[in-house]
Structure 1
Amino acid sequence: MSAAKKYNVSSWVWRSNKDFVLNELARLVSYKISDLDIDAIEFGMEGTDSEIPAYFEYSFCGSEKLDFAISNESGADTLMVLVSASDHQASTVSLILDLAATYDIRARS
């Protein structure tokens, strides 16, 4: 997929923060993310490269629909994330992506 769709929030994030980003995007629209979602996204990301550009598109449909695209970045330990956020979601999505680009976020058990 060439990311031709309009995405209004984007950033690279550390690969180690992929689960954090996905969980927080899902939480934003009250979507209960499952292992099947994670597996589908992981599988869909195979062969992607933001420099081509080749992205994997996915949507979370909870209280609202949130479309996003995700891609590997060749030669880096990062991912590129593009999100089609509504006006009231955009600042929260930006914060999620900024945190994931700045910090190494680990879930506490």
Structure 2
Amino acid sequence: MATVVKHSIPFRLGRAVGLVVRFCFHDRNPKVRWLKRVVFVCPLLFLLVSNLGWIFSTILTTVSLVAGMYAFSKVDPDKIDFFGEDGEDVPYGRDVFGRPLDSRGKPF
């Protein structure tokens, strides 16, 4: 029994890809088969190499965002006092090592 099938875009795309693969990778003559493979693979390699910077930048951006999200997830906000003051004993603040600073910003 014959059925009517509406050919969708994925069906047509898959059929076209299958035809290209069959044309490039199947032939009775091995020399012609390898020539077809080289002709098919060279433009793909050219596209890959020409877009290598874009690919690496995408990978590095993703890695950086994931590392930043991981670092922020490990911070305990209860232990950090963002707006706390040092008090009267250190009138000019502290440096990155926690040493008190004088009025010129130099450690004691």
| TM-score calculated relative to the size of structure 2 | 0.22
Q: Which has the higher helix share?
A: 2
Structure with greater strand share of residues: 1
Q: Which has the higher contact order (CA 8 A, sep 6+)?
A: 1
